[in-house]
Amino acid sequence: MTRARQVGTLPDGRAVHAHVLVAPGLRLEVLDLGATVHSLRLADGSQEVEVVLGYAELADHVADPPDFHGAVVGRWANRIAFSRFSIDGTTYELDANEGLTCLHGGPDGFHRRTWSVVEAADDHLVLELVSPDGDAGFPGRLVARATYGVSPGEVVIELTATADAPTVVSLTNHAYLGLAGGGSVEDHLLTVDAGRWLPVDDASIPTGVEAVDGTPFDLRAPTRLGDVVASPHPQVAAAGGLDHAYLLDATGLRRAARLEHPASGRAVEVITDQPSLQVYTGNGLDGSRRGHDGRPMTRHGGVALETQRPPDAPNQPELGPSVLRPGEEYRSTTVWRFEGFGR
């Protein structure tokens, strides 16, 4: 069994438990609240390096505005324009939480829910959440599962879902990665294996598909994040950094991105079977909340590499499929493969 312990209670009285998964040189802590990656520590010589951002205070997991640290978000990861979509001629109105937009499942999304433990062992954990018909406006009863597995230098995240009525679903983990053990990720190098990206309007809704050529969104070669977030490009300036989706090259389980910290020689490759990667450079982290080390979490203190279906695909079918029907299973696999640790 995993080493589970109660780590506290939320303002509404719910108890929160942490499950620890271990592999040689790696320790992953997952909360039942939001199926959240709360901590991921890798051994590097005589020290352990924390590679994800996490809150010091449990209450911050359910505070507004949310930062979604490490949580599984849904029912639809990312944004749905005007908080509505249609399936088979029926329009569904959703709960909005970003102006008129439904972001990451709405104001009471999966990141705020307590997930049930289905299976637990030292090297893997299966959590389940039942989302009822009409939850946040989404149709159908949805059963979602998040499976975490660890092995030396690697974390595997498998997200699945089934439904008893046609609905839309896209799940992702919203961890903020950083390989320096603290501080800004501006000195990290990021590679994204994508030749196309999605520009957005003022509500961060995609307005089309464009080639990355000749733009700061061209990350096909290792690129310093500090140079990208400082770009005067109107899309970067408006967001305060990157908060954009890429349409990944190729299909199947393949590399989507590589994050490197040259000063330490550490790196992580993100491998996925999903069609899109949202790159978010923590532009909204404003120092009002504290991290693991007790220090304020500030802008560009981590980068979220969210493997998912493209934003607003329920309203823009040209971006790819979004509907899950009875008898089908939604599946998503993402692997974090670390290098340069254990030296």
Q: Sign of torsion, CA 248 249 255 259?
A: negative
| 306 catalytically annotated | yes
| 154 catalytically annotated | no
Residues 307-329 pLDDT 10s? 999 999 999 999 999 999 999 99
Please report the pLDDT score of residue 158 as a whole number. Answer: 98
Q: pLDDT confidence of 46, banded at 50, 70, 90?
A: confident
Q: pLDDT confidence of 179, banded at 50, 70, 90?
A: very high
Q: pLDDT confidence of 45, banded at 50, 70, 90?
A: confident
* Residue 341 reports pLDDT greater than 60: yes
Give the domain 3-339 fold: Beta-galactosidase; Chain A, domain 5 (2.70.98)
Q: pLDDT confidence of 1, banded at 50, 70, 90?
A: low
Q: In angstroms, rounded to a whole number, what is the distance separating the alpha carbons of residues 102 and 100?
A: 7
Domain limits, the chain:
3-339
- Residue 335 exposed, middle or buried by CB count within 10 Å (0-12, 13-18, 19+): buried
Residues 82-120 pLDDT 10s? 999 999 999 999 999 999 999 999 999 999 999 999 999
For β-strands 330-339 and 196-198, DSSP reports them as unpaired
Contact, 309 vs 323, CB < 8 A?
A: no
* Residue 283 reports pLDDT greater than 90: yes
Q: pLDDT confidence of 4, banded at 50, 70, 90?
A: confident
Beta bridge partner(s), residue 17: 6
Quick one: which of 230, 197, 150 has its CA closest to 310?
197
Q: In angstroms, rounded to a whole number, what is the distance separating the alpha carbons of residues 312 and 12?
A: 32
pLDDT > 70: what percent of the chain? 99
Which residue of the set 29, 50, 260, 306 is catalytic?
306
Q: In angstroms, rounded to a whole number, what is the distance separating the alpha carbons of residues 140 and 159?
A: 18
Q: What's the token pair of residue 133?
A: 């018909």
Please report the pLDDT score of residue 230 as a whole number. Answer: 97
Residues 184-197 pLDDT 10s? 999 999 999 999 99
Specify the pTM: 0.96
Which residue of the set 69, 174, 261, 300 is catalytic?
174
Residues 245-263 pLDDT 10s? 999 999 999 999 999 999 9
* Residue 3 reports pLDDT greater than 90: no
